[in-house]
Amino acid sequence: MNSMIAHLMYLTSGRDLRQAMQILNPQKLSEMMLMPEGHGSTVASFYNNLENKGLQERSQSRIYYMRNSNNWIKSYIISHCLELIRDRQVDDYPIIVLDLGCGKGGDLRKWQKGNIRHLVCADIAETSLQQCKERYETTRNIRFSAEFIVADCTKTRLKNKMKAAEKKLDLVSCQFAFHYSFESLPQAETMLQNISENLKRGGYFCTTIPNANEIMSRLMKNGGKSFGNEVYRIEFPEDRPDNPPLFGDQYNFFLEGVVDCPEFLVHPKTLEKLAEKWNLELVWCKSFATLYNDALKSSDAQRLLSVMYALETYPSRNLVTETDGEYSHAQQYLSNKEGAKAARTLSKSEWEAMSLYQAYVFRKT
């Protein structure tokens, strides 16, 4: 039997459905043990100690263009959700946002451009959050108020820490961080509770996470317990069981100079069932490759693609890599495009790493 088909059968097996039904049964939750200590401190320590590099140094990174492309896609997703909210509201509607896993505040300018009224920033890493606060305080012409909460959002109820807990949110954004909550069922429940109980009806939750099906497909194709290229690597434990758990299915993820942490697979059907329990209805789920094509249909997104330096020019004397084959797709494009002398692209390794991800948008019912 084809290994990918076998994996898909596993994801929709009776075992998976039984666990999904347990998730929907509140009685089961009351019977569960207290949350384990887990890897939260490891993740917090890594991001607390991650050097805050300047623009000049970041521009020399092997994954400079990939990071900019990821940022560009985040801009598209956030803009899309803000448009959905404003489509149902009057002009100058005061949008309130929760940024879960805000890190150093990389999305502050997106909230500025989105003309929101108030932002709640929450992150497990105290140093990162302090840098986010300093970034907010030193950014010119900020027009929204903000509050900053240090908390493990997979274990702490944020409603008790928010300054205006009675005010419901319009949007919750969790970019490249939600998958840490799938270390255990109680942690995933707490994360979704933090999202759902603070969102108003009709509000949205958007998140970007690694695609579990894509990860398993590449793992099976490569054989063994690991795979990757010159910018990223994913390694599963040697003792990973043949039938791994739906929660706590750990792997180690390394991304050049950015991530070196334990992460957890998020099985799509399990996430959708769990979100449904917390009154979060799936609007759409799309791979980054699909989102790239969607965004290119927007003239504003096309303009941002250049402004944010999301693609590099090929050929160039300053390519991010000289490895053979990294630009074969660009070479092929130019050979087939009469008169074309240059192309804007990502290296093959960057695209492979980037296309591991997918985005979800949910709506509170």
Q: pLDDT tens, 99-120?
A: 999 999 999 999 999 999 999 9
Higher pLDDT, 8 or 26: 26
Mean pLDDT of all residues in 245-266: 92
pLDDT at 89: 79
- Position 56 confidence tier, pLDDT thresholds 50, 70, 90: low
* pLDDT of 55 higher than 80: no
Q: Which residue has the tokens 């908390």?
A: 151
The helix or strand, by DSSP H or E, that contains position 99, with its residue range, turns out to be strand 96-100
Q: With contact defined as beta carbons under 8 Å apart, do 225 and 240 qualify?
A: yes
Mean pLDDT of all residues in 136-146: 94
SS (H, E, C) 126-156: HHHHHHHHHHHHHCCCCCCEEEEEECCCCCC
- Position 167 confidence tier, pLDDT thresholds 50, 70, 90: confident
DSSP E strands in 272-345: the ranges are 280-287, 312-314, 343-345
Judge residue 156's burial from the number of C-beta atoms within 10 Å of its C-beta, 0-12 exposed, 13-18 middle, 19 or more buried.
middle
pLDDT at 35: 46
C-alpha distances out from residue 51 to 71, 147, 241, Å: 19, 24, 36
* pLDDT of 154 higher than 90: yes
* pLDDT of 51 higher than 70: no
Mean pLDDT of all residues in 41-57: 57
Question: Among candidates 149, 108, 105, 107, which has minimal Cα distance to 126?
Answer: 149
pLDDT at 184: 97
* pLDDT of 218 higher than 70: yes
Higher pLDDT, 95 or 45: 95
Mean pLDDT of all residues in 250-272: 92
Residues annotated within a binding site for S-adenosyl-L-methionine: 74, 101, 123, 152, 175, 180
Q: What is the average pLDDT score of the chain?
A: 87
* CA distance linking residue 121 with residue 108, whole number of Å: 10
* pLDDT of 52 higher than 80: no
If you write DSSP's letter for every residue of 252-281 in order, what string do you get?
EEEETTTEEEEEE---HHHHHHHHHHTTEE
Q: With contact defined as beta carbons under 8 Å apart, do 342 and 191 qualify?
A: no
* CA distance linking residue 232 with residue 142, whole number of Å: 35
Does domain 3-296+350-364 bear CATH number 3.40.50.150?
Answer: yes
* CA distance linking residue 200 with residue 117, whole number of Å: 15
Share of the chain above pLDDT 70, in %: 84
Q: In what order do the strands lie in the sheet with 250-255?
A: 226-228, 232-235, 250-255, 259-264
Residues annotated within a binding site for mRNA: 70-71
Least confident stretch, 8-22, 57-71, 183-197: 8-22
Mean pLDDT of all residues in 121-132: 96
Query: Domain ranges in the chain?
Result: 3-296+350-364, 312-345
* pLDDT of 84 higher than 80: yes
pLDDT at 280: 98
Q: Is 233 helix (H, G, I), strand (E, B) or coil?
A: strand
pLDDT at 64: 95
Chain Cα centroid distance, residue 192 = 15
* CA distance linking residue 194 with residue 196, whole number of Å: 6
Mean pLDDT of all residues in 285-298: 95
Q: Is 322 helix (H, G, I), strand (E, B) or coil?
A: coil
* CA distance linking residue 59 with residue 309, whole number of Å: 10
Q: Is 209 helix (H, G, I), strand (E, B) or coil?
A: strand
Residue 118, strand partner residues:
96, 145
* CA distance linking residue 250 with residue 245, whole number of Å: 9
Share of the chain above pLDDT 90, in %: 77
* CA distance linking residue 310 with residue 66, whole number of Å: 7
Residues annotated within a binding site: 70-71, 74, 101, 123, 152, 175, 180
* CA distance linking residue 326 with residue 302, whole number of Å: 24
* pLDDT of 251 higher than 60: yes
pLDDT at 5: 30
Write out the two tokens for 258.
Answer: 């950015």
Q: pLDDT tens, 170-192?
A: 999 999 999 999 999 999 999 99
pTM for this predicted structure: 0.85
* pLDDT of 22 higher than 80: no
Residue 233, strand partner residues:
228, 254
Q: With contact defined as beta carbons under 8 Å apart, do 149 and 120 qualify?
A: yes
Higher pLDDT, 24 or 230: 230
